[in-house]
Amino acid sequence: MFKRVDRLAIELPISNNPDPNGASAVQELLGGKFGEMSTLNNYMYQSFNFRGRSKLRPFYDIVASITAEEFGHVELVANTINLMLEGSTSPGAPDTTPLRIGKDARMTSHFIESAQTALPYDSMGRPWDGSNVFSSGNLILDLLHNFFLECGARTHKMRVYEMTDNNTAREMTGYLLVRGGVHILAYAKALEIATGVDVTKLIPIPNLDNKAFDTTRKWEAMGEQRRLYTFSDKDYQQIAQIWKGTHPTDGGKLEAFAGLPGYGGPIPELPDLPEEFAPGISPEDFLQIAERLKRNAGL
Ligand code: MN3
């Protein structure tokens, strides 16, 4: 089962200027083949389908706890896209063409299908689909796939980082580069325990340190590249049987934590967007809703 927390993985800065085309590039990190929806669903199905769980518990715990973290990454990237689109248009009567900018934006669907918010699509508007999930049932093959998936995800994050200097996008991407690096290392170490092969020698792919990206540095200074969380109060603690030893590039001690990270940020508040009819609740409607809520509460 899953427990939900009404908090974002990190605090996202409010973007200083709308960047609809940057938001369409960031869609790749959400609904692309190597995006967060793919990492989430790959690990989620592998954890549902895991054979020999009792015997291979530490491997199951690694896949299951990273699944939970990926849920929060999907949420973080979606919120980044929302903030990048924020302020693209302003209210106006239909005849003033208030959504004019939408027709020239790379992802017109942000302005038609959703009220300037994230969609489960890649950067070219292709919908994410279940064929992006690899769940072979062979433990080594699945772990190898996950290592490859995380390296591909890292490559795409680095390229998107180079495409937009929007501050919200950079903050999110820097953080996810650090956390994705943890997942690369977790799968490498799992493969090492399972096979005896030192997969960490392949790291980093691409061969560029996270430190080259400005917004990674504060997370690395905090030691986030060395921490793996269970995302559960009591379960999945056998991650510590795999997540131990030292970090291959920074030499620090790897630490497994029960629970969630101690940091996080508020879920950004999205204001009314009358030109998109969203949420479409007028002040008069709201008064009536408040009245009905009061009546339902017996007041
Ligand atoms: Mn991720």
Centre of ligand 1 to C-alpha 275, Å, is: 34
Centre of ligand 1 to C-alpha 291, Å, is: 43
Architecture per CATH, 20-296: Up-down Bundle (1.20)
Residue 16's pLDDT is what?
75
Centre of ligand 1 to C-alpha 76, Å, is: 10
Residue 127's pLDDT is what?
98
Q: Within the chain, which residues score under 70 in pLDDT?
A: none
Residue 59's pLDDT is what?
98
Nearest residue to 271 via CA among 158, 115, 167: 115
pLDDT tens-digit readout, 119-151: 999 999 999 999 999 999 999 999 999 999 999
State if pTM tops 0.95.
Answer: yes
Residue 201's pLDDT is what?
96
* 65-70 LR contacts (CB < 8 Å, sep 24+): 65/228, 65/229, 65/230, 65/231, 65/232, 65/236, 65/239, 66/39, 66/183, 66/186, 67/40, 67/43, 68/2, 68/231, 68/232, 69/179, 69/183, 69/229, 69/231, 70/36, 70/39, 70/40, 70/43, 70/44
Residue 299's pLDDT is what?
80
Centre of ligand 1 to C-alpha 39, Å, is: 6
Residue 198's pLDDT is what?
97
Centre of ligand 1 to C-alpha 32, Å, is: 12
Q: Where exactly are the structural domains of the chain? A: 20-296
Q: Which stretch of DSSP H or E encloses residue 207?
A: none
